[in-house]
C-alpha cells in the first residue's frame, strides 16, 4: 500500500491544522502551512532514503507528530512560525 499523494496529504493536514490551531491562531493560513509541511516531508523522504540507512523511514505519521508537537506551545499568530521551525 502506497502513501497518499501530495495533494491528498495537503487536504488532510490542512483540515488537521484547522482543527488544531484555528482557535489560537485565527489569522494563520493553515492551507499554506500544511502545504509547506508536506513539501518539507516529501523533500526529506526523497533525500533520506531507506536505501541509505534503514532508519530513514518517513511516513505521514511524522507530519501528525509535527502538528501534535505544535500543541505543546502557547500558539499565537505572531509566534507560530518561530515555534513551527524550532520543534525538535
Instruction: State which residues form the domain around 54.
Output: 6-84
Q: What is the tally of structural domains in the chain?
A: 1
To the nearest whole number, what is the mean pLDDT of the chain?
Answer: 91
62 in a structural domain: yes
Interval 38-63 mean pLDDT: 92
58 in a structural domain: yes
Phi and psi at 27, nearest 5°, equal -90, -10
1 in a structural domain: no
50 in a structural domain: yes
Entry pTM: 0.86
Report the b/e string of 58-82 with b at 16+ CB within 10 A. Answer: beeeebeeebeebeebebeeeebee
Span 32-43, pLDDT tens digits: 999 999 999 999
41 in a structural domain: yes
User: CB-based contacts of 82: which residues, under 8 Å, 6+ apart?
Assistant: none
Distance, CA of 13 to CA of 7 (rounded, Å): 10
Q: Could you say which DSSP state residue 76 is in?
A: -
Q: Identify the CATH number of the domain in which residue 26 sits.
A: 1.20.920.30
55 in a structural domain: yes
Q: Could you say which DSSP state residue 48 is in?
A: S
Amino acid at each position: 500500500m502506497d502513501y497518499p499523494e501530495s495533494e491528498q496529504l495537503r487536504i488532510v493536514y490542512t483540515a488537521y491544522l484547522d482543527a488544531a490551531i484555528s482557535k489560537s491562531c485565527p489569522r494563520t493560513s493553515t492551507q499554506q502551512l500544511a502545504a509547506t509541511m508536506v513539501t518539507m516531508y516529501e523533500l526529506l523522504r526523497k533525500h533520506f532514503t531507506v536505501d541509505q540507512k534503514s532508519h530513514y523511514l518517513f511516513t505521514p505519521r511524522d507530519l501528525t507528530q509535527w502538528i501534535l508537537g505544535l500543541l505543546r506551545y502557547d500558539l499565537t499568530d505572531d509566534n507560530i512560525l518561530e515555534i513551527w521551525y524550532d520543534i525538535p
